[in-house]
Amino acid sequence: MKNIFKTTAVSVLATTILASALTLQASAGELIYTPINPSFGGDPFMGSYLLGKAQAQDTTTDPNIEDFEPLSPTERLIQSLESRFISDLINDVGGVDNGTGSFDSGDFSVVVRNEGGQLIVEVIDKATGDVTNISVGGLLFNP
């Protein structure tokens, strides 16, 4: 008689648990699709993040890109000094109305003029003789 009572009690307990589980209400919210990619209506601020991820995974190389040799420390110093001289030259000439200045290196010659607030930079390639004029207008210089 003891076995029958235990089996009946277990089955009653299992039935009660099953019945209570079946009577519980299931609730779910509305599913809303939100795209991530800005090309498909997603957040525009995700574009740079997604581009960075894609570029990090890109393992292909462009066959048209030529391998370049890194600059030696001396070449980097010369390049930096030339850049600094040209920057100082533009600042000096920019502060003087109708001022002119020039810079000469081994490969090119730079002439900078300020003509009535318009900055004109003339770059002359010594090897080929090509002349490039760069005009920037509407600049206000503080001497």
Q: Is residue 67 part of a domain?
A: no
**pTM for the whole structure:** 0.41
Q: What are phi and psi of 135, to 5 degrees?
A: -115, 130
Q: Which two three-digit tokens encode residue 58?
A: 């890109």
pLDDT tens profile 71-101: 888 888 888 888 887 777 777 666 566 678 8
pLDDT tens profile 13-72: 777 777 776 666 667 788 888 888 888 888 888 888 889 999 999 888 877 777 777 888
Q: Is residue 36 part of a domain?
A: no
Q: Is residue 125 part of a domain?
A: yes
pLDDT tens profile 9-30: 667 777 777 777 666 666 778 8
Show the domain range for 126: 98-143
Q: Are 89 and 100 in contact (CB under 8 A)?
A: no
Number of domains in the chain: 1
Count of residues in the chain? 143
3-state secondary structure of 88: helix
The per-residue pLDDT for 1 is 47
